[in-house]
């Protein structure tokens, strides 16, 4: 059974994950309108992934005797001055989500809710990966600068982007 404190904190995270999905969705639409099909498809996939993160939280809350809440969402930015600005905002947003997850982990320990703490470890690892991907993309975007040919290649190649983050490494290696 979830404490009210944990239930409220998890419901806050449900909203953050839903808003994250919307952030990626808005970025996908912007990129698509600009003719950046690869970036757009990448963002659509990320939006779906964030929705899955939300659903995983919803199921957990309900299975633990709580009541997951579906709340009103804040509207994301829908226009960007450049694809570089878009990815800078994306990294900033992922750092915000990581901080929120970390606070949730802290709350679970304060509440001595070890089941929730254990459940949240997946999110901790996922955020390490999300930040690593955002930083890798931003590094590539900074390398491209204003080179249209570089943007073309980046847009084509982003779908194949893989990042080996520390979270995904086998500790026995």
| CA angle at 41 for the pair 37 and 42, rounded to the nearest 5° | 115
Max mean pLDDT among 33-47, 139-153, 158-172 falls in 33-47
DSSP 81: S
Q: Which of 106, 79, 76 is nearest to 13 (CA)?
A: 106
- Asked if pLDDT for residue 23 goes beyond 60, the answer is yes
Q: What are phi and psi of 80, to 5 degrees?
A: -135, 150
pLDDT, tens digit (0-9, with 9 covering 90-100), for 62-100: 999 999 999 999 999 999 999 999 999 999 999 999 999
Q: Which of 92, 73, 97, 89 is nearest to 30 (CA)?
A: 89
Tokens of 156: 């084509």
Average pLDDT score, the chain: 92
- Report the length, in residues, of the chain: 173
Query: Residue 119: CB partners within 8 Å, gap ≥ 6?
Result: 60
Give residue limits of the domains in the chain: 4-163
pTM here? 0.89
Q: Which of 11, 18, 101, 12 is nearest to 61 (CA)?
A: 11
Query: Residue 173: CB partners within 8 Å, gap ≥ 6?
Result: none
Q: Which CATH number fits domain 4-163: 3.30.830.10, 3.30.413.10, 1.20.1260.10, 2.120.10.30?
A: 1.20.1260.10
Query: Do residues 6 and 107 lie in contact, with contact meaning Cβ atoms separated by under 8 Å?
Result: yes
Distances (CA, A) of 77 to 81, 108, 134: 11, 32, 17
């Amino acid at each position: 059974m979830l404490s009210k404190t944990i239930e409220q904190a998890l419901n806050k995270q449900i909203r953050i994950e839903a808003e994250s999905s919307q952030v990626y969705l808005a970025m996908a639409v912007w990129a698509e309108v600009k003719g950046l099909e690869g970036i757009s498809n990448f963002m659509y996939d990320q939006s779906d992934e964030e929705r899955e993160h939300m659903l995983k939280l919803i199921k957990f809350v309900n299975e633990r005797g709580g009541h997951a809440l579906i709340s009103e969402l804040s509207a994301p930015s829908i226009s960007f001055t450049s694809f570089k600005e878009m990815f800078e905002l994306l990294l900033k947003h992922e750092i915000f989500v990581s901080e929120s997850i970390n606070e949730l982990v802290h709350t679970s320990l304060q509440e001595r809710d070890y089941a929730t703490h254990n459940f949240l470890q997946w999110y901790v690892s996922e955020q390490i990966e999300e930040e690593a991907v955002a930083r890798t993309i931003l590094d590539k975007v900074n390398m491209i600068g204003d080179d249209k040919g570089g943007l073309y290649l980046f847009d084509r190649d982003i779908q194949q982007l893989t990042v080996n983050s520390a979270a995904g490494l086998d500790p026995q290696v």
